[in-house]
Amino acid sequence: MKYNEIKPNGFLTNFIDSFWEYETYSIGFEHTIIPDGYFDLIAQFENNTLKLVKITGVWTNPINVKIPKSSKIFAIRFKLLATEYLFQQEIKSILNTTKSLSQTFWNINSYQTKDFEKFVSEISNRLENSIKHLKEIDNRKLKLFELVYGKQNLTVEELSENAFWSSRQINRYFNQQFGFSLKSFSNIVRCNSSYKDISKGNLFPSENYFDQAHFIKEIKKHTGATPSELFRNENVRFLQLATKA
């Protein structure tokens, strides 16, 4: 398998974590996708032919996926704010599942498997132009997601104070837009921030956890595996751990 990613620039970083491509060769793979606090738009090619375009919900539980041999994926890993301002819809209705899109969505059917950099450039331009035509973006939401994705590990109360947005209003927004609470989201992002250390064999908690028992409990709750099982990552089971090593 081959994995590659490109990070966005400028204001687009408020909405996109990365563009990524994934390729299998003579064998297929079965992976467990673990919660990371993002959602993805995925275009999957098989034998150089576009087979499907889909959008995922946010994963709050681990999910098993099978990727056939001779496959290539172009994808965009979105931050949650993109649901409202780029897609202009909620995604709680596809929590822990996926939704098929037309292959013509964003002209994805015009790309070939060799066109990843072109895909990144043109989609970036498309989204930057769409952002320019948006109504004013709520600065409270920009600040909130900046703090959470910035791995500041703040409590809901602290996030509320820093974003100048009441915790009650925040949780109403989260439940209506995404289908889970701010606290659940923060816990998932905190776990995701640990995956890189785990992939390198650091199986002890960072300052974000009370102690080793709390660390193991939270990791297993969100991934279905202990930190040591994630580190072993037998047969490249956990795709995110393989790409962070």
Give the pLDDT score at 149: 95
Q: Looking at residue 122, what is its pLDDT?
A: 98
Q: Where in the chain is the domain with CATH 2.60.40?
A: 2-132
pLDDT of residue 245: 56
CB 65, CB 31: distance < 8 Å = yes
Check: CB of residue 202 under 8 Å from CB of residue 236.
no
The yes/no answer on whether domain 2-132 falls in CATH 2.60.40 is yes
Top pLDDT among 132 and 35 is at: 35
Instruction: Determine which of 52-61, 92-101, 218-227 has the lowest per-residue pLDDT on average.
Output: 218-227
pLDDT tops 90 at residue 60: yes
* pLDDT recorded at residue 96: 96
Helix axes 139-149, 182-199, angle to 10 degrees: 30
Q: How far is CA 227 from CA 54, 154, 236, in A?
A: 30, 23, 15
Quote the DSSP letter at residue 48: T
Three-state DSSP class for residue 12: helix
Encode pLDDT of 64-98 as tens digits.
999 999 999 999 999 999 999 999 999 999 999 99
CATH superfamily entry for domain 139-244? Homeodomain-like (1.10.10.60)
Which residues in the chain are classed under CATH 1.10.10.60? 139-244
Q: What is the mean pLDDT of residues 190-213?
A: 84
Six token digits for residue 189: 């992002």
Mean pLDDT (the chain) is: 93
Question: What is the pLDDT confidence band of residue 207, given thresholds at 50, 70 and 90?
Answer: low
CA distance 215 to 119: 39
